[in-house]
Amino acid sequence: MKRANQLVLWWHHAFLEKRPSVSMGLFRLAAAFTVGCHMIPSFFHMQDNYLPTAFKTKNFFFFPMPILELVEHSPAWVIWSFMWLFLGSLAAFAAGLYSQISCILLMLSCYYFYALNNLHIGTLSFDILLVTMFLLCLTASHGDFLSLDSLRRGKDGLHKRRPYAIQRLLQLQLAWTFWYTALSKVTAGGNWITGNPYLALMNYPPMGVVRDFPLKAWLAQQSGLCYAIGLSVLTMETLIPLLWFIPRTRPAGIAIGIVFQLLLWATLHVPTIFLFLFPPMMLLFIRPEAIVRWFEARQAAQAQRGRAVLLYDGQCGFCVASVKRLRAMDLFGWVDPLDFRAQPDLTALHPALTPERCRSEMILIEPDGKIWGGFQAFQRLSRRLPLLAGAAPLMHLPGAGSVGDRVYRWVAAHRMLLHRTPACSANQCGLPPSSNSWS
Amino acid sequence: MLVRRSVQITWFVILWMLIFHYETLRANYLTPLAGRPLPKLALLFPPAGWIMFFQVDRAYGFAEVQGVRANGEPVRLDPHAIFETPAVGYDNIHRNVLVAVLSKGYAPSFCRFLKRKFPEYERFTVLYGVYPDVVAAPDQTRYAVAYRCEPEPRGP
C-alpha cells in the first residue's frame, strides 16, 4: 500500500504536478527557429522543389498512399497558399500569438510540404522535429511566457503553472533518442563495435558527409584512435542523458551535451535541427522553478538599484490596458507604472512634472532622474524592456521620431475613445475608481 | 475536474510511451522477433527508429549526372547546380541527397527536371558511382549507368 502511494506520488510529480510553464515559452522560440531554418530555404526555389516543374521524391514509409496522391496533384495556388500558411503560422507561433493554434497550423503546413517533396526537407532529424512539434501541438503552455498571448492576457506568464507532462515527455524523448541511437550503433546491424565506422567517415571522399576540419586528414590515418573515438561517442550517447536526470550532475550533463552537438555539427554535414533543437531540449531539464527564481532575483536586484517610473492616466481605459501589457513586457522589473492622478505631489517625483504635462502625454522618469515624454518615452522603453527589443530598431530609424511623435500625439488626444467601454461615445469617459487598479 | 484531467494525462502519457518505444523498436527488433513486418504508425516517427550513422561502411556510393552536348561531349554537372536549394548551416549535397535520383522510378521526373534546368544539353546520363573501400583504396571508383535521359522525339 505504501509502495503504491509512493508510486502515485512519483507519477504525480513526474507528469501531473502543475509547475511553471516558463521553460516551454522559451522552448517555443527554439522550436520556431529550428522549423524556420529547416523549411524556409526550400521556399527560395519553389520551381525546383514544390511546383509542378520540381523533382520530387516521396516518403512512402511515412505517408499513406492516398495522402501522397492527394498532395501530388496540388495546383500551384494551393502550394503557394500553404507556403503563406507556413510563414504566417511560423511568425504567429514564434511570437506566441494563439500559440497552440499556430503550432497546429505550422505542423499541418510542414506535413503538406513533407508529403509534397521529401527530397530536401525529409531527414531523420526532421522526423524528430515533427515528434517534438506534435507534443507542442497538445498544449498551450508554450504561449504563457514571452509571447503575444501573455500580452493579450496582460500577464507576464512568469508564474503561470501547467501540468508538467509535455515538458517531461520532451525530456524523455531526448534521452530515449540518445539511448536508442547508441543502441542501434551496437545492435540491429550497427557496426560501431565490430567495425571502425569513424575511420571510414574520416576517409570519406571530399563530397561526403564529413566536413573538411583541420584534423581530418591526420585522423584518417589513425585507425586505433578512430576506434576509440567511436567508442567514446557511444559512451557519451549513453551517459549524457543519465547526467540530465541527476540534479547534481545536470549542469555538467547539459554543458557536455551541448558541446557534443557542437562537435557533431562542426565535423559532419548533419542537419542543423540537431544543433538548434537538441541543446534547447537539454535546457528543458532545468527546473522551471529555478528559472522563475532567476527572473525574480533580477527583478529584486533592479528594485534595489532603483526602478524607472512611468506615469500614465489612470482614468483612461486604453492607457490602463496599455500599461498592463507594458508591465507584462517588463520581465526584469525595470519600470514601475504609476497613475499620475493618484499622486498627491507630482513634483516630489520630478520637479519638472505638472498635472497638465501628465495629462497630455505618458511620462518616463529613469532611475538616474532623466525624464522623457510621449514617443521618446516609448523609444527609451524599447531599449529596456526585452519584449519591446524587437521594435527598438524600427523606433530609432531616421525620421521615426517625428512620425512616431505625430502618431503618439493623435493617440494621446483620442485615448479616451480607444478603450473598449461601449458607453464611451465622447472623449469624456473615465473608468470607475475601482478599475484604476490593474495590478 | 482535476482528477479527470489527471486521468486523461496519465492515459496519454502511457499511450505515448508505448507508441514511442514500439515505433523505435519495430523495424530492427520487433519485426525480426515476430518474423513478419509489423504495422507502422502513419504520419509520425521515422521508418526504422533512431538510426543516426548506426552503420557506416567502407564502401561509399554516390550519384553523378553528366550532360551530353549535341556533339556528344559529356560534361559532369555540378551537383550544387542541379539542386541549388541551400540549407542553413550544412550542405545537403554533402549528405548525398543526389543518390535519391538513382531510383529508376524517379527517372522520368528527374529527366524532365534536368531538361528544364539545363536546356543547353541534349541528353543526360545518370551514373551510379561507388568507392569500394574508402580506407584501403581511396582512389578507386567504379561507375555504372543507372539510366539515360534521351531527347524527346521530334514531331513529323
| Residue B70 pLDDT level (bands cut at 50, 70, 90) | confident
Are residues B77 and B39 part of one domain?
Answer: no
Are residues B68 and B46 part of one domain?
Answer: no
**A43: nearest Cα among A108, A109, A97:** A109
Res. B155: pLDDT tops 70:
no
Chain A (364-423) residues lying within 8 Å, Cβ to Cβ, of chain B: none
Are residues B81 and B145 part of one domain?
Answer: yes
Q: How far is B139 from chain A (nearest CA, A)?
A: 9
10 Å CB burial of residue B59 (0-12, 13-18, 19+) is exposed
How far lies A153's CA from each of A18, A315, A338, A423, in Å? 20, 20, 20, 23
Average pLDDT over residues B30-35: 96
10 Å CB burial of residue A357 (0-12, 13-18, 19+) is middle
pLDDT at A414: 76
Chain B (71-130) residues lying within 8 Å, Cβ to Cβ, of chain A: 79, 83-97, 100-101, 106, 109-110, 112-113, 116-117
Q: How far is B104 from chain A (nearest CA, A)?
A: 12
Q: Give the whole-angstrom CA distance, residue B131 versus residue B145.
A: 15
Q: For the segment B138-154, what is each residue's pLDDT rounded down to a tens digit? A: 999 999 999 999 987 76
Supply A265's cell numbers: 555539427
Which chain A residues are within 8 Å of B93, Cβ to Cβ? 207
Beta pairing class for B123-131 and B60-68: antiparallel
Q: Give the whole-angstrom CA distance, residue A412 versus residue B143.
A: 75
Cα-atom radius of gyration of chain A, to the nearest Å?
27
Query: Minimal Cα distance from B64: which residue of A?
Result: A207
| In a domain? residue B96 | yes
Contact predicate A33/A94, CB 8 Å: yes
Q: Enumerate helices (H) and strands (E) in chain B, giving the number of each.
A: 4, 4
Helix boundaries (H) for A144-249: 148-153, 165-186, 197-202, 216-219, 223-245
Are residues B93 and B144 part of one domain?
Answer: yes
Q: What is the count of structural domains for chain B?
A: 2
pLDDT at A436: 38
Are residues B65 and B41 part of one domain?
Answer: no
Taking the Cβ of residue A197 and every Cβ of chain B, the question of whether any pair is shorter than 8 Å is answered with: yes
Taking the Cβ of residue A201 and every Cβ of chain B, the question of whether any pair is shorter than 8 Å is answered with: yes
Fold of the CATH domain A307-436: Glutaredoxin (3.40.30)
pLDDT at A320: 85
Q: For the segment A95-124, what is each residue's pLDDT rounded down to a tens digit? A: 999 999 999 999 999 999 999 999 999 999
Are residues B67 and B20 part of one domain?
Answer: no
**A366: nearest Cα among A354, A376, A355:** A376
Are residues B65 and B45 part of one domain?
Answer: no
Q: For the segment B42-69, what is each residue's pLDDT rounded down to a tens digit? A: 999 999 999 999 999 999 999 999 999 9
pLDDT at A336: 93
Show me where the domains of chain A are located: 18-163, 307-436
Q: Give the mean pLDDT per block of 10 residues along chain A (439 residues).
A: 90 96 97 98 97 95 96 96 98 96 98 97 96 98 93 86 97 98 94 96 96 95 97 97 98 98 96 97 98 96 93 85 86 92 89 88 91 90 85 88 88 71 53 40
pLDDT at A428: 52
| In a domain? residue B85 | yes
| In a domain? residue B17 | yes
Contact predicate A131/B45, CB 8 Å: yes
Q: For the segment B103-121, what is each residue's pLDDT rounded down to a tens digit? A: 999 999 999 999 999 999 9
Domain holding B21, by residue range, is: 1-51
Q: Give the whole-angstrom CA distance, residue B131 versus residue B59.
A: 5
| In a domain? residue B34 | yes
Supply A183's cell numbers: 543502441
| In a domain? residue B155 | no
Contacts of A395 (CB under 8 A, 6+ apart): A375, A378, A379, A382, A404
How far lies A422's CA from each of A51, A428, A431, in Å? 50, 13, 12
Are residues B74 and B2 part of one domain?
Answer: no
Q: How far is A24 from chain B (nearest CA, A)?
A: 17
| In a domain? residue B131 | yes
Are residues B77 and B136 part of one domain?
Answer: yes
| In a domain? residue B156 | no
Q: Give the whole-angstrom CA distance, residue A96 versus residue A28.
A: 8
Are residues B47 and B65 part of one domain?
Answer: no
How far lies B77's CA from each of A217, B86, B105, in Å? 27, 17, 21
Domain boundary among B28, B51, B74: B51
Supply A314's cell numbers: 489612470
Are residues B109 and B33 part of one domain?
Answer: no
Which chain B residues are within 8 Å of A138, Cβ to Cβ? 12
Instruction: Report the interhelical angle of A99-116 vs A22-43 (nearest 10°).
Output: 30
pLDDT at B87: 96
| In a domain? residue B42 | yes
Are residues B88 and B35 part of one domain?
Answer: no
Query: Minimal Cα distance from B3: which residue of A?
Result: A16
Complex-level ipTM: 0.95
